[in-house]
Amino acid sequence: MKELLTRLTAAFGPAGREEEVRSLLKQELTQVGGPDAVVDDLGNLIVTRGKDADQKILVAAHMDQIGFMVTFIEENGFLRITPVGGIQAKSLPGMRLRFGGGTTGVIGQEKLKAQKDLDFSKLYVDMGVNDREEAEKQVQIGDTAVFDAPLVMEGNRYIAGAMDNRAGCTVLLETLRRLPTDLPQSVCFVFTVQEEVGLRGAQAVSYRLNPHFGLAVDVTRTGDTPEPQFKTPLSLGKGPAIKIRDSSVICHPRVTALMRRVADQNSIPHQFEVLEQGGTDAGAIHLSRAGVPTGAVSIPCRYIHTPGEMVDSADLENGVSLLLALLQTEWKW
């Protein structure tokens, strides 16, 4: 999985510009019978398995990542930016960004009376150019950038920007590779767009597919670092988390019960997630049409929405095992 994760985390894909991630996934899918992949009008990538079954599960992982958009180019060539998704201005000075065209920029900040007043209006991006004319040869208003943070592996851990949610994309793809053709219900794997700006791709694709059940695969925060901001028992390396709730969804109790049972029966290490802040595609899926019982598998991740997003390789493997077991179980109660 390392090779796949390396390529997926290196792909450029801020919300709204998922083309590169999608074409990489499509390329991978050709090896697992991918010609049946469909791309909807918003850019969601849909792959269906077990088409003839009565019931249908939608399994979603978002392709997009957080990023930045150019709002203004100063006379002297410095760029002003706005966040695409949830990013704290405070953590940004000194960071490197990469634009879609390949240009690198460094984030700088203006002088402030108090550092706590730092917000996006006080930040700029330095591309090493001398004036607006030179800058415009590299980027235009509305162009987007992501953290320049390629994958490294240290021990059992992967570190990269975009682990949110290329980790989930990797788990879905790996599951697709290993999934037998004979399934108790059909499964629509969807690689969604624009999760980071409000679960937008998932909202549209859920309407299209009209599933009986939903399942999102994404990353979640851990509490296993010194003095974590939010107290949670989740740790890296202790297995994928079965989501109970976050701020976008209270998972259907029958779905979480089924997930717990399947994990236990297959001796797959797992944890339970109660996330106080943050959401995922499950939030949009469960509110589609007349409502869809939905759950989520979360890959524990430290330093979410920074260039240092860190996951444990065993959690990815166990995430695939859990998903494989869940999709080979008949969903009924």
Is 75 labeled as catalytic in the residue annotation? Answer: no
Question: Active-site residue among 174, 195, 196, 309?
Answer: 195
Q: Which is nearer to Co ion, 98 or 166 (CB)?
A: 166
Q: Which is nearer to Zn ion, 166 or 270 (CB)?
A: 166
CB under 5 A: which stretch of 101-109, 162-170, 220-228, 245-253 binds Zn ion?
162-170
Does residue number 281 form part of the binding site for Co ion (CB under 5 A)? no
Cβ proximity of 320 and 173 under 8 Å: no
Supply φ then ψ for residue 174, to 5 degrees: -65, -35
- Closest contact distance (angstroms) between CB of 276 and Co ion is 15
Q: Which is nearer to Zn ion, 14 or 105 (CB)?
A: 14
Q: Which is nearer to Co ion, 18 or 164 (CB)?
A: 164
Residues 291, 158: Cα–Cα separation, whole Å: 36
Q: What type of residue sits at position 265?
A: Q
174 makes contact, choosing from Co ion, Zn ion, none, with CB < 5 to 8 Å by partner type, with none
Q: Among 64, 143, 164, 315, which residue interacts with Co ion (rule: CB under 5 A)?
A: 164
Q: Which of residues 210-249 bind Zn ion (CB under 5 A)?
A: 218
- Closest contact distance (angstroms) between CB of 167 and Zn ion is 9
- Closest contact distance (angstroms) between CB of 285 and Zn ion is 14
246 makes contact, choosing from Co ion, Zn ion, none, with CB < 5 to 8 Å by partner type, with none
Q: What type of residue sits at position 181?
A: T
- Closest contact distance (angstroms) between CB of 216 and Co ion is 12
Does residue number 315 form part of the binding site for Co ion (CB under 5 A)? no
Listed in sequence order, the residues at least 6 apart from 38 whose beta carbon sits closer than 8 Å to its beta carbon are: 45, 46, 47
Q: Which is nearer to Zn ion, 211 or 283 (CB)?
A: 283
CB under 5 A: which stretch of 145-153, 158-166, 182-190, 227-235 binds Co ion?
158-166
Supply φ then ψ for residue 291, to 5 degrees: 105, 140
Residues 328, 325: Cα–Cα separation, whole Å: 5
For the CA atoms of 317, 322, 324, 326, what is the dihedral angle to 10 degrees?
A: -170
For the chain, list the strands marked E by DSSP. 38-39, 45-49, 56-62, 67-73, 79-84, 96-99, 104-109, 123-126, 144-147, 152-154, 157-159, 186-192, 213-221, 241-245, 271-274, 294-301, 310-312
Q: How far apart are the first and last CA of the chain?
A: 34
Chain residues binding Co ion by CB under 5 A are 164
- Residues at the interface with Zn ion (CB under 5 A): 164-165, 218
Residues taking part in catalysis: 195
